Chains A and B, each alone.
Chain A
Amino acid sequence: MSNEQIFSLTEALARTDQDVELFQTLAELFLEHGPKDMDEIKTALDARDAAAAGRSAHRLKGAVLQFCAPAALEAAMRMEEAGKAGDVAAAAGLCGKLESELSRLLDALRQAMDKGLAA
């Protein structure tokens, strides 16, 4: 899967008014905080606290929105909904998918930055 399928750099840059430096700052923030949100979701699910998992998924979703990454966004949304509905089993079932989509997005962002965004 190409990076452009994981997230749309064109759309994401449009959201920052083509400000590459800002995009990099946001990506770095996300690389730092995204995994923390994911950890919080897993901890909450271990404690069978669906509502807490939903809240962390909501935060994660807000961040993912900035990068125009449809698969990761979809996975975060579904996790948030399951959490809100109090459905621990469903949330636990979605956890693997969300983690892999998040991981893919983080990798794609790292690669994009390594390649140099300006180019």
Chain B
Amino acid sequence: MGQDMTREASESGTNDASRTTLHAVVAQQTALIVDDEPVSRAGMAARLKRLGYRVLQAGDGKAGLELLRRERPDLTILDWMMPELDGPSVCELVRRDPEVFSSQIILMTGHDQPEQIAEGLARGADDFLSKAASPQEITARVQAGMRAAGLIRRLEHATDEIRRKQEAIERELQSAARYVVSLLPAPGLLLPGLEMASAYRPSSALGGDLFNVLRWDEHSLGLYLLDASGHGVSPALRSASFSTFLRDDNLLHRVGSSDPGAILTEANRQFPLTENGSYFTIVFARLDIRTHTLFYATAGHNGLLLHRRSGEICYLAQPSLPLGFDAGNVYHTADTQLSPGDRLYLMSDGLYEVPSPTGELWGQARLETSLREAAAKPLADALSHAIGAAEQWLGHQQFPDDIAVMGIELAG
């Protein structure tokens, strides 16, 4: 309380100490006076210097504009009528210049008719000052203009700071995104007679979907695709952590088996629902290349699709709980027989749940159609075709959810 009263007294007081304080506060601010008439320009310059401002002067509109662009004064006091470039024209040029458009400008004129004031403001002035104004009014308007200029400067600095921080975060995200992509397996031949292709399109810089291939031994492979709920940094971190658990050496050590059901049962114990309700869905498969038998288990994940050479398409996943919902849940392994020429797709639901501009989902039937259309094309082209069709349905290229697809094809 005592402190407040002291401050109030000092701000409203007229003693030398309060003047010194006021001058110190405004010392950094610069005023530019643009007037072709030297007597009133000199009078105004002296007044502003007395108020503690740094003062710049120009004798015509063109020189004033140059000085304004070079020196970025906090406040410009601009005479209306000047030869060649008049005050309102200078205002218009300033407002069109992105480097200086936020400058504070007071237009000054000998006339102060309402129409002229309206025109001056419409052409870009912030305030208006009559040449016949009293010293008190001039001081008050200049100080108001300087206050506004100070606020604008602070806003601009804050905006720059936010932009810099945003750019730093973007760079971090891009770097993290490159790391996530580096975790993904390279497409191509996994084993003789077994080709893999994939597509990965995170909805933002970082995605929560991840897939990989494990080489159990020379005859069998593990394949998984997981989808962390949500998208962005947190799901991406959780997925990366989960993928460490899913490394083949870790699984053999922790689970002691390459059986998909046993692996998901253990993963379900290791990755419970988080405090804010985050969870994983996953499809995990083991392919025996000698017998062409596919063993698989799913946890809350529907995206396991078999496209047979015959043209038949079937979804292999059975209804099941996502990981983490029930610690005692046991996930069972199912199996099916693949034939040469068959294609198996592991995918996140982001692909077939792409909405059209009216909100209708692309859906599994349209996905099947697009995969059939590309059945004769190489596997990678079939994937591109399906993603292209989904993009067309969406109407643009920025998917609202992460999209990950891994396809494998047994040589026919």
Binding site for B on A (CB under 8 A): 14-17, 19, 22, 25-26, 29-30, 33, 55, 58-59, 61-63, 65-66
Contact = CB atoms under 8 A, between A and B. Distances in A.
B135 A62 contact: no
B39 interface: yes
Most buried by A among B37, B47, B50: B37
A106 to B, nearest CB: 12
B46 A59 contact: no
9 contacts: A15-B43, A17-B47, A17-B50, A22-B43, A22-B46, A29-B39, A55-B83, A58-B81, A66-B43
Interface string B33-60: 0011111101100110010000000000
Given A15-B43, A59-B36, A61-B110, 6 more contacts: A26-B42, A33-B39, A62-B131, A63-B37, A63-B39, A65-B40
A119 B79 CA distance: 34
B110 A33 contact: no
B9 interface: no
Contacts of B131: 62, 65
Interface of B: 35-40, 42-43, 46-47, 50, 79, 81, 83, 110, 131-132, 135
A77 B236 CA distance: 75
A62 B39 contact: yes
A62 B80 CA distance: 11
Contact of B38 (A15, A22, A33, A61): A33
Contacts of B37: 33, 59, 62-63
Contacts of A33: 37-39
Contacts of A14: 135
Contact of B39 (A17, A19, A26, A58): A26
B42 A29 contact: yes
A16 B43 contact: yes
Given A55-B81, A58-B81, A25 B40 contact: no
Contacts of A58: 81, 110
A15 B36 CA distance: 20
A35 to B, nearest CB: 13
Nearest to A12: B43
B233 to A, nearest CB: 61
9 residue pairs, one from A and one from B, having the closest CB atoms = A63-B39, A62-B37, A59-B37, A22-B46, A62-B40, A30-B39, A29-B39, A29-B38, A66-B43
B126 to A, nearest CB: 21
Contacts of A19: 46, 50
B123 to A, nearest CB: 19
A16 B139 CA distance: 12
Nearest to A19: B46
A61 B35 CA distance: 13
